[in-house]
Chains A and B, each alone.
Chain A
Amino acid sequence: MSRNIFSRKRQIIEERSLSERSFSFIFILLVVLFFGIPLLWLMLAPFDRVASYSIKWPNWTLSNFSTINENPYALRSLVNSAVFSAGTGLLVILIGAPASYALSRVKFAGRDAFLYVLLLFSSIVTGTAAMVPLFLLALKLNLLDTYHGVILVLTGGLIPVSIFILKDFTDSIPKSYEESAQIFGASSWRILRDIVTPIIRPGLAVIFVWSFVQAWGNFLTPLIMIRDVNKSPAANMMYSFYTEGGQAILPLVGAFSLLYTAPVLLMYFYVNKKYGFRFYGGIKG
């Protein structure tokens, strides 16, 4: 870094000293290594003919992916995950959207406090803390070992936050839209369908994706509710691949991990492209 008079002036504007910048650089480098290295396995081993626990340059092949076909439960579990996740995502927006809309428009004393308390309550009564009654509930309602059972339980946990987020979207719809539709004779259902839903579509997309991703990675609920291996989702199947008896079948595990991860990665890219993946000030206090 040349230190003549001219760059000195520039240094006043450039507030970071050399030592600061090198610390920053080293820090970021460490961070990248910390987060990046374990990830490398996911990108390399699935394509490695001789996959091992190490991260190494692969002996490139696609044959690992065919092992998934050979395992009777692997593909099945991915389909199960898809069913659970899509089902949860759909149910959440089907139930959440009308509720947010109603809450946007109907005022009752303490409505905002109620919402806040609801949100808080849902953070406190977690799947973990409530696992016993959820199990017993599923037992008594015949929901154990069923697709709809898992979807219902997963949905239940996601509804409060979804309503909270969607309400921001429904709040922003000008009342004149609905009033004009009312004057034209549209019923509340029509208004919800024709006007509210299309306008809050971005919010619905966000909530769908979020619910999908939550359900896709959820391990505990299926652990508690599903006994039948044929209905087991990928999260639990994955776990069984590396814990059940003896050595993990690494080619299978690698390929399976990638297939299992791919959908959520794609969803991230999609949401990021369309809406940008940042918290725009909506999460303060």
Chain B
Amino acid sequence: MNKGSRAAKLGNPILGRGAAAAFLSPSVIFIAIFLFIPAGWTIYLGLTNYKLTGFDAANTKFVALDNFLKAFQDPQFISSLKLSIIYVIGSAIIGQAVLGFLLAWVLSTFSARARNLVELIVIFAWIVPGSVVAFLWFAFLNADEGTLNRLTGSNIEWLIRYPMLSIIAFNIWRGAAFSMLLFSAAITAIPKSHLEVARVAGATRMQQLRQVIFPSARPYIYTNILLIILWTFNDFGPYLLTGGGPGGQTEVLPIFVYNTALRFLDFGYGSAIATVMLLMNLFISLIIIKRSKRNR
């Protein structure tokens, strides 16, 4: 009789305990190794002065918050942080989200064929692998033969004169499709009747947008903003186009971490920066989630 009392307490689930554990354990192991351990380790390393080569490699010390203090006095870090913020605001918020939304909204009034064709082009830009996209822009922006200069009749070295603008355009190009598809789903999810009521009541398209579409699309907007801010903030893409240059002018945080830790092998300091990134990721997520919950 006692054999089953354990089962009785579980209420007899479909999946036995053993099987459930077996099914879950591989993922649990993966998540532990590739998510939890790296997170903790990054933070830990950030508190040390671990370097792979040089004098300190032999004497790794626990330096507590020294790295962090160093970071906030380091002009390179500050610049990197600023560049990241500009990159996110420019390409993610203004670029992808706004553009994506406009696309979804305007295209919703086009015929299905036209819409599908335009969407196809935008989606292609998204699907093409990052390295290829980088090269397409490399070619497009080329000073001597690049199509942009040929079309505008100039000979500006875009990647050198306007590097941030270049990577922002590059990232918008690469990522707009996601926002467009998401907002397209949001707009089609709005029952036609809502919009028709507004129209019959005399609302202009702008009013319809503000009073019907935005409120309905709110959860989508929050999800979208959260995801693309996180992705763009952590994006390594600019490396493909500018390598972080010229002279660090496009050295956004991901590239800065890479250079510090894996090129100059200063793991301790690099991890501290990475920890700052982790914290900022967390911060961004929490704020957006809180805002989205509050407005329910």
Contacts and interface: CB of A to CB of B under 8 A. Distances in A.
Given A16-B109, A105-B20, A136 B258 contact: no
Interface string B129-147: 1111011111110101111
Interface stretch (B53-61, B86-94, B266-274): B266-274
A157 B34 CA distance: 7
Contact of A41 (B28, B139, B240): B139
Which secondary structure dominates where chain A touches chain B?
Answer: helix
Contacts of A34: 173
A234 B39 CA distance: 29
Most B C-beta atoms less than 10 A away, residue of A54, A129, A279: A129
Contact of B236 (A41, A99, A128): A128
Chain A, interface size category, equals: 35 or more
Interface string B254-274: 100110011000010011001
A278 B274 contact: no
A285 B239 CA distance: 31
Chain B, interface size category, equals: 35 or more
Given A128-B254, A281-B189, A15 B33 contact: no
A121 B39 CA distance: 9
Contact of B274 (A52, A130, A155): A130
Interface of B: 13-16, 19-20, 22-24, 26-28, 30-31, 33-39, 41-42, 45, 99, 102-103, 106-107, 109-110, 114, 118, 121-125, 127-132, 134-140, 142, 144-147, 150, 173, 176, 181-182, 184-185, 189, 199, 205, 219-220, 222-223, 226-227, 230, 234-236, 239-240, 243, 253-254, 257-258, 261-262, 267, 270-271, 274, 277-278, 281-282, 285, 289, 292
Interface stretch (A2-10, A66-74, A260-268): A260-268
Given A28-B118, A224-B262, 15 more contacts: A16-B109, A53-B139, A54-B139, A54-B150, A102-B19, A121-B36, A123-B281, A125-B38, A133-B45, A136-B45, A137-B37, A155-B30, A188-B23, A217-B129, A241-B135
A277 B130 CA distance: 20
B257 A131 contact: yes
A17 B173 CA distance: 30
A105 B257 contact: no
B35 A125 contact: yes
A242 B135 contact: yes
Contacts of A122: 35
Contact of A123 (B118, B227, B262): B227
Contact of B223 (A55, A103, A188, A283): A283
